[in-house]
């Protein structure tokens, strides 16, 4: 069974390798969509959405400066970093992160998928 969970966070960054306005400090309201694979348990759920939302929210860089974590915090690099951070948290609960989509705005996203 696949679950999809969408979370929102706010974070600032600057793109040091970019030739344009995004080289300057600016912020976004980001959206993260997680596609999570797991078996339906006796409860009838793969996992309680309330539990998943808390786990994911605690792992997201809400109100952070992304350059403190990544040298070049593009949407692509952020997706990869978060995928690596969150995959083991879900695995500890018997779940697999199949896909993570990071939306920088309503028109642009980066997607990373499990092998």
Q: Which ranges of 1-115 would DSSP assign to H, the alpha helix?
A: 49-59, 75-91
Expressed as residue numbers, the domain containing 75 is 47-100
Q: Mean per-residue pLDDT for 47-59?
A: 98
Please, are residues 35 and 100 in contact by the beta-carbon 8 Å criterion?
yes
Q: What is the pTM of this model?
A: 0.95
pLDDT in tens, 23-41: 999 999 999 999 999 999 9
Does 89 map to a domain? yes
What span, in angstroms and rounded, lies between the C-alpha atoms of 70 and 2? 30
- Total of domains in the chain: 1
Strands 64-65 and 26-37: unpaired
**Has residue 49 got a pLDDT over 90?**
yes
* pLDDT higher than threshold 90 for residue 115: no
Asked whether residue 35 is assigned to any structural domain, the reply reads no
């Amino acid at each position: 069974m696949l679950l999809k969970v969408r979370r929102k966070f706010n974070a600032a960054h600057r793109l040091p390798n970019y030739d344009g306005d995004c080289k300057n400090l600016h912020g976004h309201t980001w959206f993260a969509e997680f596609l999570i694979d797991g078996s339906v348990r006796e409860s009838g759920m793969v996992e309680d959405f309330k539990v998943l939302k808390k786990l994911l929210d605690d792992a997201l860089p809400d109100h952070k400066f992304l350059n403190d974590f990544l040298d070049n915090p593009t949407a692509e690099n952020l997706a990869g970093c978060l995928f690596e951070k969150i995959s083991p948290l879900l695995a500890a609960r018997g779940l697999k992160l199949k896909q993570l989509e990071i939306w920088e705005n309503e028109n642009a996203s980066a997607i990373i998928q499990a092998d």
